[in-house]
């Protein structure tokens, strides 16, 4: 696939790619991804998204450790995670879980971990940190689409960022900066394919819900 793939092709084929090769991603492509993320809109045009591309092995290992701790809680019996959903069979969820576990076991070897952060004016609590997401996720989706167009695998993740203090230490973040999303990026081990989503008729109404 090339950068020339249409926007709609990219949107409809932008699955979470968790199984990635260890081959390094050229620096100019990583800059290109972040530049694409940086084109996204933000509330009041604050442009407070900040991006860290982690290639350092020790920092990747620490982020992988933090992710693994959260994944173990996520897959554990007390997690409350649904084993199936009306639109997602237990078999498909099991497959997703296996790829989440693969990522947890291998994150330290993924060549680039992109961290989307938000620069606040002052230190904030977890609620406000989460609300900043509205100005971060459009950029994250731009990064995912750009990665797809460039033939790179990527996935949005948050589990590894739950321990905010440990993440701040690992990334040497200032007290007023929060990490919102972690996107592992690399060349995919598997094949790209279409996303499976609920039919538009189920999720859309005209004028009012009922």
Ligand X SMILES: Cc1cc2nc3c(=O)[nH]c(=O)nc-3n(C[C@H](O)[C@H](O)[C@H](O)COP(=O)(O)O)c2cc1C
- Which of 113, 149, 159, 179: binder of ligand X (CB under 6 A)? 159
- Of residues 36, 30, 28, 39, the one with CA closest to residue 10: 36
Q: Which two tokens stand for residue 160?
A: 């590894």
**Stretch touching ligand X by CB under 6 A, among 15-23, 33-41, 46-54, 106-114:** 15-23
- Which of 49, 103, 152, 153: binder of ligand X (CB under 6 A)? 103
- Minimum distance from CB of 28 to ligand X (Å)? 26
- Which of 5, 9, 16, 168: binder of ligand X (CB under 6 A)? 16
- Which of 96, 130, 175, 198: binder of ligand X (CB under 6 A)? 96
Run of H or E residues at 57: helix 57-75
Binding to ligand X in span 176-205, by CB under 6 A = 195
- Minimum distance from CB of 206 to ligand X (Å)? 26
**Stretch touching ligand X by CB under 6 A, among 55-63, 96-104, 118-126, 171-179:** 96-104
Size of site (CB under 6 A) for ligand X: 12
Q: Are 185 and 152 in contact (CB under 8 A)?
A: yes
- Minimum distance from CB of 140 to ligand X (Å)? 8
Query: Which residue, 31 or 192, is less far from ligand X as judged by CB?
Result: 192
Which positions touch ligand X (CB under 6 A)? 15-16, 18, 96, 100, 103, 155-159, 195
């Amino acid at each position: 696939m090339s950068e020339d793939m249409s926007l709609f092709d990219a949107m409809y084929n932008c699955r979470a790619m968790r199984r990635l090769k260890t081959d390094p991603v050229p620096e100019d492509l990583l800059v290109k991804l972040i530049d694409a993320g940086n084109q996204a809109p933000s509330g009041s045009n604050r442009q407070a998204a900040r991006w860290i591309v982690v290639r350092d092995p020790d920092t990747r290992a620490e982020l992988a450790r933090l992710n693994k701790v959260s994944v173990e809680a996520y897959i554990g019996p007390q997690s409350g995670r649904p084993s199936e959903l009306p639109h997602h069979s237990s078999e498909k969820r099991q497959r997703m879980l296996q790829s989440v576990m693969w990522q947890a076991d291998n994150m330290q070897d993924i060549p680039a971990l992109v961290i989307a952060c938000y620069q606040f004016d002052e230190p904030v609590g977890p609620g406000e940190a989460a609300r900043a997401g509205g100005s971060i996720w459009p950029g994250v989706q731009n990064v995912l689409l750009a990665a797809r167009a460039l033939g790179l695998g990527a996935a949005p993740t948050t589990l590894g960022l739950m321990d905010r203090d440990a993440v701040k230490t690992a990334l040497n973040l200032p007290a007023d900066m929060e990490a919102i999303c972690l996107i592992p990026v690399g060349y995919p081990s598997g094949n790209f394919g279409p996303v499976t989503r609920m039919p538009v008729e189920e999720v859309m109404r005209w004028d009012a819900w009922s």
